[in-house]
Structure 1
Amino acid sequence: MEIASKFDPAEVEGKWYQYWLDNGFFKSVPDNREPYTIVIPPPNVTGVLHMGHMLNNTIQDILIRRARMMGKNACWVPGTDHASIATEAKVVDRLAKQGIKKSDLTREKFLEYAWEWKEEHGGIILQQLRQLGASCDWDRTAFTMDEVRSKSVIKVFVDLYEKGLIYRGVRMVNWDPQALTAVSDEEVIYKEEHSKLYYLRYKVAGEEDKEIIIATTRPETILGDTAVCVNPNDPRYAFLKGKKVIVPLVNRVIPVIQDDYVDMEFGTGGLKVTPAHDVNDYVLGEKYNLPTIDIFNDNGTINDSYIDNDQITAEAKSYVGMDRFELRRKIAADLEQAGLMEKVEDYENKVGYSERTHVPIEPKLSMQWFLKMDRLAKPALDAVMDDELKFYPTKFKNTYRHWMENIKDWCISRQLWWGHRIPVYYLPEGGFVVAATVEEALPLAKIHTGNEQLRIEDLRQDEDCLDTWFSSWLWPISLFDGINNPGNEEINYYYPTSDLVTGPDIIFFWVARMIMSGYEYEQEMPFKNVYFTGLVRDKQGRKMSKSLGNSPDPLGLINAYGADGVRMGLMLAAPAGNDIPFDEALCEQGRNFNNKIWNAFRLVKGWQVDDTIEQPEASTIAIQWFKMQLDKTITEMEESFSKYRLNEAIMSVYKLFWDEFSSWYLEMIKPGYEQPIDKATYEATLNFFDSLLRLLHPFMPFITEELWQALSPRKEGESITIARMPESNGFDQEYLNYFDIAKEIVGGVRTIRLQKNIPNKETLELQVLGDHNASFNPVILKMCNLSSISLMQEKVAGASSFLVRTTEYSVPLGTLINVEEELAKLNEELAYYQGFRQSVIKKLSNESFVGKAPAKVIEMERKKQADAESKIKSLEESIAALKK
């Protein structure tokens, strides 16, 4: 196979990806091998590849490719999430551009448009993942609203309802006024904002000369006030006990209640209570049986529910129909005008925003469906705390524990059409039944009502759909149809899955809930390990976003640096659980590594082989050494993978190839100019290259396949993808340590050549004063172009020396140097070290320093003195030798 002079990713990547697909290397069916399973965190059908996807899916691909090469039955299941809110918003926006309103359509017609949008856009991100090299079993591609997954979701809803875990009720929820739906606590993003704190006057009813000042950030909600609360221990407000106050502008008379919930130190120590529009106020309202007045329409405009008395001002009556933020400005001006505003202060507070639509959420009382979480949470919490299911890094255990111990019931209903419609059917006379289909609901309805004449058309299905996460929490089970067909061959074989790779931002949305459903429906965890990636940030530490313009286009990076270069660059900077400071220079480093591998391969394959020549002793040693170095690296990589330290694993093989193989091994065995190499060394080198390519393959799949195919003749259907990962045969660390000394000796001689401007073609001698292991002399002779290595009692005249540990090595320079210039240099260096030694001696003679400094510091200073004295002795000997 002909190898091009330069590596061109564009020519290689598409060719080999298609080859992998054509040969079915990514496909998996149950067999007698150990399974290794990953389910993809399903990206939204609205999504396109971003840097977070790149990181997450690169990690998954590394794990799955490595497992495949270790002989496991590797199964990586891909799929997409229907993303209720995000997708519905996209469809509504597209229709609006065509002049069509959602409200003008039937549910069925709107869903036609939604499915059309999904078919156009839903597969884009999965196609893009192929460009990254993702080795998913694409035949298993799933969608959270496909038939199997939809049937699973509905069956689970019915089951949980029948177990008494799902209920319907009016509760305070986070309302998204743009998407017109409830959202969960985890879908609310809190942002620090510059706000205002408004101090309002509430007059005491019947005593208009008395008042209480109350601070609020939301003056518009006074329209829904039904009480004022003070702390019973607050002496300032003892006079208000049993009294009533008047809501400004609205002139509603409301009671003063006392509760130690109120913080006497915050604001004025008084609290306006608006049960319909604040979670804490709702709790107080329940406690004191206060009425609730919901002043907001679903879209955030004002309704007329607050107009409940004849005393209301004309200004207040005019607020109906206004937007909530427009009203805030208007009501503040009206309060000021009426003398009911004490003051306004600047204020920093956190405001909750909908994660999907980016508008401020509105706490709102709403009839919703909820799932009780306490019972589901216990086994899921115990599994993680007992390390039955492991988190990497472990710091996320505490985050998980805190949420699980304080878990709230899950609001699972959404006021949307795109999603799994809630399988609840309302009856003509009131009440409802729960069933998977209307056909199954009808007999239940007849029993419930006692009316045998009921027809299907008499039943009305709930309009709401389920929270997106109610389908994805079943993902590891529903992908193998474990809900519809419990105990089937695939769920028994692939479940629990092996590793989950995800971001910590969805630890509550998804990870915790999958663990809960796993124990509920399979009586065991859904995966054995969770690897939390960090966020990809720019080099200034900022989160990547479209608005900042700091997020590079992943496909643009692949086009510029190749998929292998981008994968390598990302992983070099990706410690588990920590944010990744991404710099495009990392991709350049990855591309440079590609080129290094390519050029090393071309060098080796360019050598002429002669099977009649004997193997040089230096090559024999080099092969023995590199085999040990390779085994050591394999051991290190296995240890790193066991702890999910993928960046350390990749750094190990990166250094092995760049430093040990390219810079040392190839130099040790390289034949002379236009000389052949012996067959034994050449074959050993090809075997090493084969091992290196296999170790690199999970990280850099394309270049490794290209070179592996060119390494030796291959049959159709052979691939590095299914080649076995090299295993370590153990190594002798003492041997490697001795070899490191040999490398230091080579480095010392090369430094002398550099300092003295001696060309590499000039043959030198090396003299040794002290202990020396001669085992590696053939390597040193070759690497340094030496004529001999000899043991000496003293240095000869005109020699330049260096220390390796405690042994001195010297190179006689003879006529190769100018003696006067060399003496001047050595004397200058001697003066420096004498001065340095003197400063250390002075420090150690200082009783105050010696008395106060830690023992380690004293020890370090004494070592500095000993090193300086050793250097001085060597320099004095060199000077004396030159003067002879």
Structure 2
Amino acid sequence: MTLDTTFNPAEIEARWYRHWEESGGFRPERPDAEPFTIVNPPPNVTGSLHIGHALDNTLQDIVIRYERMRGKDALWVVGMDHAGIATQMVVERQMEERQDKRTNYSREQFVEKVWEWKAESGGAITKQLRRLGCSMDWSREQFTMDEHFTKAVLKVFVDLYNDGLIYRDKRLVNWDPKLKTAISDLEVEQQTIPGSFWHFKYPLADGVTLDSGQDYIEVATTRPETMLADMAVAVHPTDERYKSVVGKHVILPITGRRIPIVADEHADPELGSGAVKITPGHDFNDFEVGKRAGIEPAQMLNMLDGEANVCQTADDLVPEEFIGLHRFKRDGVDGARELVVQRLKEQGYLIPHIAKTKKGEEVEHDAEPRQIATPFGDRGGVVIEPWLTDQWYVDAEKLAAKPIEQVRDGTIEIVPKSWEKTFFNWMENIQPWCVSRQLWWGHRIPAWFDKDGNVFVAESKEAAQAQAGQGVELTQDPDVLDTWFSSALWPFATLGWPEKSDLLAKHFPNDLLISGFDILFFWDARMMMMGQYNMGEAPWPRLYLHGLVRAADGAKMSKSKGNVVDPLGLIDQYGADALRFFMAAMESQGRDIKMDEKRVEGYRNFATKLWNATRFCQSNGIGASTTLKAPAARLAANQWIIGEVQHCVEQIDAAMADLRFDAAANAIYQFTWSRFCDWYLELIKPILGSLTASPAVIGDSSNLPHDLKAKIDDQTREAEEGTRSREETRAVTGWVLDQILVMLHPFMPFITEELWHAQGERSYDIITAKWPNPRAKVDSNAKAEVDLLIELTTKVRSARNELGVPPNVVVTANVADPSVAIVDLATSNSAAIGRLARISEFKFEPAPTGAVMQVNVASDVLTIPLEGIIDIDAEKARLEKALAASQKEARSLEGRLSNANFVERAKPEAVEKAKADFAHHSAEVERLTAALERLG
């Protein structure tokens, strides 16, 4: 079909995606083919496509399209995570808008409402992934709450429990008082907010004093309310100030609790007084100190309820006036923090902070102002409280042993390798994994309790009842499982496990996992653990970790900063192909990507260039190729471009083998834009007769050696005989364009499919086309000839530009002592040289006297007379003036950059700009000096 004059991405994208999906192009029937399998990190059912998703899924789609074209049974497993907290929040928020709430319903009724929401509104991101061009197997779309997946989750929980790898324990968790559930570390955001640092006196008991005579220990805290549940004071074992009182006690103000002084390396002698209050029930570090001090978790005091209001501790020592108070000031009402400080001050236990004014006067304050790193829940939006509760835990340390070994011995390769150190550091110090959540939406924990607290774990209530005995009343644990628990089963549960299906046998283990580095531990490592535990092997042999997409200035994108980029907006403006190519070209083995809309626009221009090149081919009778193998070619330009195709295929294959997406994208980009569009199409225009050629005439050659003169005569005769066949060139050009479309397809699927069909009748879509295999021998002579032509043209154009020779002016070139190569070039490529370099005649003799421009091409020197073409004196003056200006700027910038004060004190962006400006002016000095030498 004839292409429109304008490339319009929006018009073709929806059409082709619908065709691919309906025709089964994403999973063609290949029962006997070698499998290749990847799984997508399942997005939340509540989610929408963000720029990180765009990067992650683009890279996966490039891989799966590439492997599909290589003939494999390529399966990209797609699905969504039920996202317990996020989904429950969405549904509850909708209820609130209708003056309704979850607790007005039974658990079963509420869960049914969540399923209704999913059917009506959930999964919007799946439509957005389609807009990006993701060729997933939608026919097998998975959901972590599907019946078969739930069966897998329950089996894994029961198996782990029976093997002693899941247990119930009292430990600290990240508690969200707004959502009233434990949350994972991934759902905690550290924010730095204004706060205070209070210093208090804890009086020593039994008349004991420090060696200094002081009868109290000074402690400092940013959370004074937690002192209501303090259980110890820690000092460093080597701290001489406190050695005499280790093992003694202090009497805690307000509560009167008698607590020990313990020696522990957690206390830093250099920080504050060197003594630290220990609240094991409300601080993760203190929890560990408490355990080392011999305090069992069951004995640790909890002073807050699930909403972060003060409750009575187990020893009943919290005064009644504190009970029910919120931990912080709220709605103008003082909380426990304010009352604790007030009472300590009244009782003389507050040590004031002395500050100096600008005038040097001392002023007394209750506390020292500080910027405090504070954990917030990313969904609840409130300060997270370390809270001591009974939860279900996985023994992650035992499960981590085999994955550690597999990464060490190369069974699992992490790309880039630099992430291995981080992986080992986390896995070798891994903590028990809290897998229970206090929600209604999710996989209900398959554990039942009798009235005495005995637990029975089974896949069904009937099985649990059989364990407990008939007549024993059982109550199921109300908690659900962490969504990371179910998604850890993704590589095999999505393939039908625990059923032994053919799909599972063929596609597990998967071949590759691509994910952001930020979920290395929350998802990737846990899949390694679960793959080994349930399947007896690693879930995949390779793990590729990509970086983040950052704002143009390198800052992390966030809604609060207002620097979030909407990928759908970029698709609307530039097309999905342009955004995808940007992601691939910028992805350099795990480095973060700086968002650059100009680059996206540039790749839209790249697509337009390919579109116009295809239109040129159509206008010259060049259509679809009928061969996978490279056509036979006699002409140097055709032999050269076939060799360039071969080289490009090898570059892409090598880059994809190493997961170098940037290198693969750059290879096809450079070949398409530079080699094919800029050079090859220009070289063949005279052959196709698409323009009137102005060949470079060969001047008097009588003074040349006989063999060179004979060569000229032979090649002139060849030209006259017209041996450069249009048919050959059309066949080669059509074949090369087909190879470009196939090689580019994984990166730019939409435009390549459109152009594939525009070029002629096809029996199959490009999505299932075979990957190029030119099977061509690269002709070294043809390559050398065309490379020399490119060098000559590039250097002559550059020299003309430097010296201000108008583009439309033709020149002559003298070569006093020509090589065989330059004679060959001038005679066999006269039309191309005449058009591209604007050289009208070659003279193989010394140049006339006067101003000339000299250009070195390989071993030859082209001397081009300039008399009458430019004003030599004016041009010299212009160049000298520009050279002087750049020399001055370069010297100034060099001086500034050698000044240590500037480099150390100036803003980083100012230093970077100075470096860039210095590099620019230094290059200009070289360029202008060379230009003046040309005029010499």
Give the TM-score of the pair, scaled to structure 1.
Answer: 0.87
- CA distance in 1 between counterparts of 2:879 and 2:428 reads 67
> Counterpart in 1 of 2:180?
180
What is the SS of the residue equivalent to 2:215? strand
> Counterpart in 2 of 1:328?
337
TM-aligned CA deviation for residue 618 of structure 1: 12
TM-aligned CA deviation for residue 760 of structure 1: 4.2
> Counterpart in 2 of 1:538?
551
- CA distance in 1 between counterparts of 2:666 and 2:120 reads 41
Query: Which range moved further: 172-181 or 722-731?
Result: 722-731
Q: What amino acid sits opposite 1:127 in the alignment?
A: K
- CA distance in 2 between counterparts of 1:167 and 1:868 reads 76
Asked whether the 8 Å contact 1:570–1:582 carries over to 2, the reply is no
Q: Deviations over 1:300-355 (max 9, x none)?
A: 1111337835xx76xx7245332445322332233333332103223344323334
> Which of 229, 232, 242 is 1:227 aligned to?
232
CA separation of 1:796/1:633 partners in 2, compared to 1, >3 Å: closer, same or farther? farther
Asked whether the 8 Å contact 1:769–1:809 carries over to 2, the reply is no
Taking the TM superposition and a 5 Å limit, the aligned residue runs for 1:172-571 are 172-205=172-205, 207=207, 210-238=215-243, 240-241=245-246, 243-290=248-295, 291-305=299-313, 308-309=316-317, 317-324=321-328, 326-343=335-352, 344-446=367-469, 452-454=470-472, 458-482=473-497, 484-486=498-500, 488-571=501-584
Asked whether the 8 Å contact 2:622–2:734 carries over to 1, the reply is no
> Which of 681, 694, 697 is 2:729 aligned to?
681
> Counterpart in 1 of 2:751?
703
Q: What amino acid sits opposite 1:321 in the alignment?
A: L
> Counterpart in 2 of 1:632?
647
What is the SS of the residue equivalent to 1:2? coil
> Which of 807, 825, 829 is 1:776 aligned to?
825
Taking the TM superposition and a 5 Å limit, the aligned residue runs for 1:726-745 are 726-727=772-773, 729=776, 731=778, 736=783, 739-745=786-792
TM-aligned CA deviation for residue 20 of structure 1: 1.1
CA separation of 1:761/1:479 partners in 2, compared to 1, >3 Å: closer, same or farther? same
Asked whether the 8 Å contact 1:500–1:529 carries over to 2, the reply is yes
1:36 aligns with 2:88: no
Query: Which range moved further: 466-475 or 105-114?
Result: 105-114
- CA distance in 2 between counterparts of 1:193 and 1:772 reads 76
> Which of 645, 648, 664 is 2:663 aligned to?
648
The CA RMSD measured in Å over matched residues stands at 3.2
TM-aligned CA deviation for residue 18 of structure 1: 1.5
- Which ranges in structure 2 are unaligned for 5 or more consecutive residues? 209-213, 330-334, 353-366, 624-631, 694-724, 887-925
Asked whether the 8 Å contact 1:750–1:784 carries over to 2, the reply is no
Q: What amino acid sits opposite 1:284 in the alignment?
A: V
> Counterpart in 1 of 2:151?
151
Asked whether the 8 Å contact 2:834–2:840 carries over to 1, the reply is no
What is the SS of the residue equivalent to 1:367? strand
Q: What amino acid sits opposite 1:46 in the alignment?
A: T
Asked whether the 8 Å contact 2:621–2:730 carries over to 1, the reply is no
> Counterpart in 2 of 1:843?
none
What is the SS of the residue equivalent to 1:669? helix
Q: What amino acid sits opposite 1:546 in the alignment?
A: K
- CA distance in 2 between counterparts of 1:159 and 1:736 reads 64
CA separation of 1:298/1:822 partners in 2, compared to 1, >3 Å: closer, same or farther? same
Q: Deviations over 1:841-867 (max 9, x none)?
A: xxxxxxxxxxxxxxxxxxxxxxxxx99
Asked whether the 8 Å contact 1:423–1:437 carries over to 2, the reply is yes
TM-aligned CA deviation for residue 667 of structure 1: 0.7
Asked whether the 8 Å contact 2:236–2:267 carries over to 1, the reply is yes
> Counterpart in 2 of 1:808?
861
What is the SS of the residue equivalent to 2:391? strand
> Counterpart in 1 of 2:49?
49
> Counterpart in 2 of 1:99?
99
Q: Deviations over 1:521-563 (max 9, x none)?
A: 2222111221211111110111112222211222221111111
CA separation of 1:294/1:798 partners in 2, compared to 1, >3 Å: closer, same or farther? closer
- CA distance in 1 between counterparts of 2:883 and 2:324 reads 87
Asked whether the 8 Å contact 2:36–2:74 carries over to 1, the reply is yes
Asked whether the 8 Å contact 1:767–1:791 carries over to 2, the reply is yes
Q: Deviations over 1:233-258 (max 9, x none)?
A: 43323453554322222233333334
CA separation of 1:733/1:541 partners in 2, compared to 1, >3 Å: closer, same or farther? farther
Asked whether the 8 Å contact 2:851–2:935 carries over to 1, the reply is no
Q: Deviations over 1:418-453 (max 9, x none)?
A: 11001111124441211101122222221xxxxx44
- CA distance in 1 between counterparts of 2:881 and 2:524 reads 66
Taking the TM superposition and a 5 Å limit, the aligned residue runs for 1:840-859 are none
TM-aligned CA deviation for residue 274 of structure 1: 1.6
Asked whether the 8 Å contact 1:640–1:649 carries over to 2, the reply is yes
What is the SS of the residue equivalent to 1:596? helix
- CA distance in 2 between counterparts of 1:104 and 1:869 reads 83
CA separation of 1:479/1:207 partners in 2, compared to 1, >3 Å: closer, same or farther? same
Query: Which range moved further: 533-542 or 252-261?
Result: 252-261
Q: What amino acid sits opposite 1:320 in the alignment?
A: G
TM-aligned CA deviation for residue 756 of structure 1: 6.1
Q: What amino acid sits opposite 2:640 in the alignment?
A: W
What is the SS of the residue equivalent to 1:684? helix
- CA distance in 1 between counterparts of 2:182 and 2:881 reads 79
TM-aligned CA deviation for residue 115 of structure 1: 1.4
Asked whether the 8 Å contact 2:633–2:639 carries over to 1, the reply is no
- CA distance in 1 between counterparts of 2:791 and 2:57 reads 41
- CA distance in 2 between counterparts of 1:873 and 1:215 reads 74
Q: Deviations over 1:463-485 (max 9, x none)?
A: 11111111000000101112x21
Asked whether the 8 Å contact 2:847–2:864 carries over to 1, the reply is no
Asked whether the 8 Å contact 1:540–1:581 carries over to 2, the reply is yes
> Counterpart in 1 of 2:636?
621
- CA distance in 1 between counterparts of 2:579 and 2:933 reads 52
TM-aligned CA deviation for residue 126 of structure 1: 0.5
Q: What amino acid sits opposite 2:546 in the alignment?
A: T
- CA distance in 2 between counterparts of 1:869 and 1:55 reads 45
TM-aligned CA deviation for residue 498 of structure 1: 1.4
What is the SS of the residue equivalent to 1:623? helix
Query: Which range moved further: 398-407 or 630-639?
Result: 630-639
- CA distance in 1 between counterparts of 2:449 and 2:880 reads 97
Asked whether the 8 Å contact 1:368–1:413 carries over to 2, the reply is yes
Asked whether the 8 Å contact 1:198–1:215 carries over to 2, the reply is yes
> Counterpart in 2 of 1:723?
769
> Counterpart in 2 of 1:817?
869
Query: Which range moved further: 562-571 or 327-336?
Result: 327-336
> Counterpart in 1 of 2:703?
none
1:66 aligns with 2:81: no
Q: What amino acid sits opposite 2:341 in the alignment?
A: A
What is the SS of the residue equivalent to 1:174? strand
What is the SS of the residue equivalent to 1:236? coil
Q: Percent identity?
A: 37
- CA distance in 2 between counterparts of 1:239 and 1:832 reads 79
Asked whether the 8 Å contact 1:799–1:810 carries over to 2, the reply is yes
Give the TM-score of the pair, scaled to structure 2.
Answer: 0.82
What is the SS of the residue equivalent to 2:562? coil
- CA distance in 2 between counterparts of 1:609 and 1:172 reads 71
CA separation of 1:237/1:324 partners in 2, compared to 1, >3 Å: closer, same or farther? same
Asked whether the 8 Å contact 1:781–1:787 carries over to 2, the reply is no
CA separation of 1:421/1:833 partners in 2, compared to 1, >3 Å: closer, same or farther? closer
Query: Which range moved further: 568-577 or 675-684?
Result: 675-684
Asked whether the 8 Å contact 2:815–2:860 carries over to 1, the reply is no
Query: Which range moved further: 384-393 or 492-501?
Result: 384-393
- CA distance in 1 between counterparts of 2:51 and 2:876 reads 55
